[in-house]
């Protein structure tokens, strides 16, 4: 906001201003804004919060320039404006102010864009393009204005024309601010309609009603905060211009105070700074010990050593790597369990149960992997790491939740038990129904893996053991080589397919983090630079298990084969450092669970967008509100 056009000397403490013969003491300290920005910098655990902290610090610097220049305002806008001694201050203000204004809009655009992305609905079409177009034109107008001011210090028809052009461009910038506020009002309207619908459904929809009300409170805070920041920045611009035109320079310090307080308070509460967790005090360096993979362990005992055998081995590994299954095919398989496994119980049966009593019988005739039946060879977009002791419903829910853009799978799991149609609609809406996942239960020929049931596994519901007579050559060791190929130099490596990543399907009891091989693979994937996405059951389950996760030690982990545990431990030279590395992998600012510890406004907007996504996909049927989970 243009309040002053110069700076002569620093002002500290009480400032005596002489304007039109009027003297008064005014205590204006933009330094008060410094603690806010510094506090945000220290506690910032997300990129958006750091951007907000930077905005506060930038506003503080601009405030210093404008405060120190207010005392010279009469010379800057009057006959003395051509004084070379004051041009530096004018130039500083003209550079800092437009960047501050564009920065303010950028923060708002980031939040609204996050909401639109998670909601799969554009309240402002092409929002980012509109912002950059308006922002660049605005910056260009300011550059032209600075050039004219430097070359034409005295008022001329050209300089007046440029001033008029700048005002017109400024109006376009204000229009974008108003458009963002209108979009927020539209969001509030959708939430109000959803609240009325949930209230009409009675007690069964109370969790949904509470979620909608929380979203409304967050959106109201966002709306009023933006209104405060926009008004204090852009509204004060017009008021200051009027005051300058009428030579009322004495009121300018009050305008500056409004700008500083408005930006500080607005940015502070919009960033949710008062609820941000403290950042980690120290950073643990990765252990230099090379963590073994299942590939390394089993190759040392079972891998072929001759060149011809190795070629055959690698060919089988490549064959495994293209056995992906689409999200739509996985959902269809789950829907068909009513026929392929009539006694299936979503809250009882594990992945191991379903493999033995649905996948193996379905593939009995061809004695092959399930993925070979439902699709042609396909490279996966994501590889799923999961525990076979996990509920099969939760494994499917984690994959579908990833496909529909959820951060947790409790909501999806609930719909898998009651109504799956909305899940198919959401995947089609997001164009992710054909996203390919590599899941060992479907990619590996189970007739050559667990079919014989040497361990005597029993059905979780009936208690009966089940196996089959087929006994082809063992393939499980090749599965581990395939994982190494994908993470390193194979056709699915980051060099060949940058979008390839790992999906970690965490069970509701967090058993996955206590399985030695699962943890080993997580750390190895992180060390290899593989992008990792985590799906947890819910925030409540995470909170209930967080304390136990912080005491994880590799020495206490388990594996199906006791020899595997010994093999892993023997390869870790410094277990203390490794355990710290594991904690960093799970909990640090960029760790597996980092998204669940981000409480800033950007994350809140993402959650509100998710809520809108489900409400819009429901189409007024009320199914989402009935089966909503808090």
pLDDT tens digit string along 156-175?
787 778 778 877 888 888 89
Residue 185 has pLDDT above 90, yes or no: yes
The SS3 of residue 485 is helix
Q: Are residues 347 and 493 in the same domain?
A: yes
User: In this structure, are residues 144 and 168 in contact, taking their beta carbons and an 8 Å threshold?
Assistant: no
Average pLDDT over residues 450-479: 54
Residue 62 has pLDDT above 60, yes or no: yes
Residue 17 has pLDDT above 50, yes or no: no
**Tens of pLDDT, residues 518-551:** 777 777 777 677 788 888 888 788 888 888 888 8
Q: Are residues 492 and 460 in the same domain?
A: yes
Q: Which residues of 514-549 are buried (b: 16+ CB within 10 A; e: fewer)?
A: bbbbbbbbbbbbbeeebebbbbbbbeebbeebeeeb
pLDDT given for residue 285 in this prediction: 43
User: In this structure, are residues 29 and 268 in contact, taking their beta carbons and an 8 Å threshold?
Assistant: no
pLDDT given for residue 467 in this prediction: 55
Report the C-alpha gap between 146 and 94 in whole angstroms: 7
Domain final residue pick, 240, 275, 310: 275
Average pLDDT over residues 514-518: 77
pLDDT given for residue 267 in this prediction: 60
Which stretch of 141-145, 214-218, 446-450, 611-615 has the lowest confidence by average pLDDT? 446-450
pLDDT given for residue 123 in this prediction: 94
588: in domain: no
Residue 298 has pLDDT above 70, yes or no: no
pLDDT given for residue 296 in this prediction: 43
pLDDT given for residue 113 in this prediction: 94
Report the C-alpha gap between 299 and 156 in whole angstroms: 83
Domain final residue pick, 537, 572, 604: 537
9: in domain: no
Spatial CB neighbours of 211, under 8 Å, sequence gap ≥ 6: 611, 628, 630
SS3 annotation, 559-604: CCCHHHHHHHHHHCCCHHHHHHHHHHHHHCCCCCCHHHHCCCHHHH
Instruction: Work out how many domains the chain is built from and give that number.
Output: 2
Q: Are residues 264 and 318 in the same domain?
A: no
In Å, what is the CA distance from 261 to each residue of 33, 114, 239, 255? 8, 27, 16, 10
SS3 annotation, 55-106: HHHHHHHHHHHHHHHHCCHHHHHCHHHHCHHHHHHHHHHHHHHHHHHHHHHH
Residue 2 has pLDDT above 90, yes or no: no
Torsion, Cα of 263, 110, 587, 490 (10° steps): -150
**Tens of pLDDT, residues 472-490:** 544 444 444 555 555 554 4
567: in domain: no
Q: Are residues 266 and 300 in the same domain?
A: no
pLDDT given for residue 284 in this prediction: 39
Q: Are residues 337 and 461 in the same domain?
A: yes
Could you say which DSSP state residue 497 is in?
A: -
**Tens of pLDDT, residues 558-599:** 776 677 777 777 777 777 887 887 787 777 766 666 665 555
pLDDT given for residue 20 in this prediction: 34
Average pLDDT over residues 496-514: 80
Average pLDDT, the chain: 74
174: in domain: yes
**Tens of pLDDT, residues 403-435:** 998 888 998 999 998 888 899 989 998 899 999
Residue 613 has pLDDT above 80, yes or no: yes
Residue with tokens 């993470």: 487
Which among 602, 584, 604 is positioned nearest to 594, based on CA atoms? 584
Q: Which domain holds residue 393?
A: 294-537
Q: Are residues 79 and 142 in the same domain?
A: yes
Average pLDDT over residues 27-56: 61
Q: Across the strands, what pairs with 550?
A: none
In Å, what is the CA distance from 15 to each residue of 12, 69, 169, 252? 7, 12, 34, 13
Q: Are residues 266 and 197 in the same domain?
A: yes
For the chain, the residue count is 630
The answer to whether the pTM exceeds 0.85 is: no
Q: Are residues 436 and 341 in the same domain?
A: yes
Q: Are residues 467 and 410 in the same domain?
A: yes
Residue 302 has pLDDT above 50, yes or no: no
485: in domain: yes
Spatial CB neighbours of 138, under 8 Å, sequence gap ≥ 6: 98, 101, 102, 169, 170, 172, 173
pLDDT given for residue 43 in this prediction: 57
19: in domain: no
Q: Are residues 307 and 268 in the same domain?
A: no
409: in domain: yes
Spatial CB neighbours of 397, under 8 Å, sequence gap ≥ 6: 409, 410, 412, 413, 416
Residue 311 has pLDDT above 70, yes or no: no
Q: Are residues 200 and 139 in the same domain?
A: yes
**Tens of pLDDT, residues 113-133:** 999 998 889 999 999 999 999
pLDDT given for residue 596 in this prediction: 58
Average pLDDT over residues 260-267: 66
User: In this structure, are residues 191 and 216 in contact, taking their beta carbons and an 8 Å threshold?
Assistant: yes
Of residues 222 and 272, the one with the higher pLDDT is: 222
Q: Are residues 198 and 260 in the same domain?
A: yes
Report the C-alpha gap between 133 and 172 in whole angstroms: 11
* Phi, psi (rounded to 5 degrees) for 25: -100, 130
Helix%, strand%, coil% for the chain, nearest 5: 65, 5, 30
Residue 15 has pLDDT above 60, yes or no: no
Of residues 27 and 198, the one with the higher pLDDT is: 198
Domain final residue pick, 275, 306, 328: 275
366: in domain: yes
């Amino acid at each position: 906001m243009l309040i002053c056009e110069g700076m002569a000397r620093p002002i500290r403490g009480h400032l005596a201003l002489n304007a039109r013969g009027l003297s008064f003491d005014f205590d204006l300290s933009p330094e008060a804004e410094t603690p806010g920005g510094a506090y945000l910098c220290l506690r910032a655990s997300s990129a958006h919060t750091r951007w907000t902290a930077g905005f506060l610090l930038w506003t503080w610097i601009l405030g210093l320039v404008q405060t120190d220049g207010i005392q010279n305002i009469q010379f800057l806008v009057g006959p003395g404006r051509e004084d070379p001694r004051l041009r530096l201050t004018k130039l500083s203000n003209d550079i800092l102010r437009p960047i501050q204004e564009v920065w303010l809009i950028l923060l708002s655009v980031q939040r609204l864009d996050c909401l639109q992305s998670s909601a799969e609905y554009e309240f402002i079409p092409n929002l980012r393009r509109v912002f950059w177009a308006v922002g660049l034109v605005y910056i260009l107008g300011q550059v032209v204005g600075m050039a004219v001011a430097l070359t034409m210090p005295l008022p001329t028809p050209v300089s007046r024309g440029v001033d008029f052009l700048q005002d017109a461009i400024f109006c376009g910038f204000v229009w974008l601010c108003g458009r963002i506020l209108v979009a927020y009002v539209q969001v509030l309207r959708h939430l109000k309609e959803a609240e009325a619908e949930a209230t009409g459904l009675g007690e069964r929809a109370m969790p949904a009603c509470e979620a909608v009300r929380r979203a409304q409170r967050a959106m109201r805070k966002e709306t009023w905060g933006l209104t405060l920041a926009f008004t204090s920045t852009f509204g004060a611009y017009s008021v200051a211009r009027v005051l300058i035109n009428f030579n009322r320079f004495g009121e300018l310090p009050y305008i500056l105070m409004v700008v500083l307080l408005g930006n500080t308070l607005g940015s502070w509460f919009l960033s949710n700074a008062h609820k941000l967790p403290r950042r980690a005090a120290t950073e643990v360096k990765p252990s230099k010990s090379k963590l073994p993979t299942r590939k390394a362990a089993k190759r040392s005992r079972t891998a072929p050593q001759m060149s011809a055998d190795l070629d055959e081995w690698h060919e089988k590994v490549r064959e495994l790597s293209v056995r992906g299954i689409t999200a739509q095919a996985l959902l269809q398989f789950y829907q068909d369990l009513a026929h392929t496994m009539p006694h299936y119980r979503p809250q009882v049966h594990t992945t191991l149960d379903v493999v033995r009593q649905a996948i193996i019988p379905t593939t009995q005739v061809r004695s092959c992997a399930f993925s070979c039946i439902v699709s042609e060879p396909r490279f996966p977009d994501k590889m799923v790491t999961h525990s076979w002791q996990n509920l099969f419903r939760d494994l499917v829910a984690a994959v579908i939740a990833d496909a529909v853009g959820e951060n947790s799978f409790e909501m999806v799991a609930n719909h898998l038990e009651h109504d799956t149609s909305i899940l198919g609609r959401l995947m089609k809406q997001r164009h992710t129904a054909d996203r390919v996942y590599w899941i060992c239960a479907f990619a590996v020929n189970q007739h050559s893996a667990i079919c014989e049931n040497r361990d005597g596994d029993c059905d979780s519901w009936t208690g009966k053991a089940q196996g089959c007579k087929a006994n082809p050559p063992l393939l499980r060791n090749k599965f581990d080589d395939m994982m190494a190929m994908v993470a390193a130099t194979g056709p699915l490596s980051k060099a060949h397919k940058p979008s390839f990543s790992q999906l970690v399907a965490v069970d509701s009891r967090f058993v996955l983090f206590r399985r030695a091989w699962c943890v080993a693979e997580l750390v190895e994937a992180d060390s290899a630079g593989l992008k990792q996405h985590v799906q947890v059951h819910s925030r409540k389950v995470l909170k209930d298990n967080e304390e136990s996760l912080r005491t994880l030690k590799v020495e206490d982990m388990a594996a199906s084969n006791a020899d595997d545990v010994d093999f892993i431990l023997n390869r870790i030279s410094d277990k203390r450092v490794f355990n710290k590395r594991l904690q960093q992998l799970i909990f640090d600012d960029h760790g597996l669970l980092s998204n669940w510890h981000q409480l800033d406004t950007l994350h809140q907007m993402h959650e509100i967008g998710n809520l809108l996504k489900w409400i819009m996909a429901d189409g007024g049927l009320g199914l989402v509100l009935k089966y909503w989970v808090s």
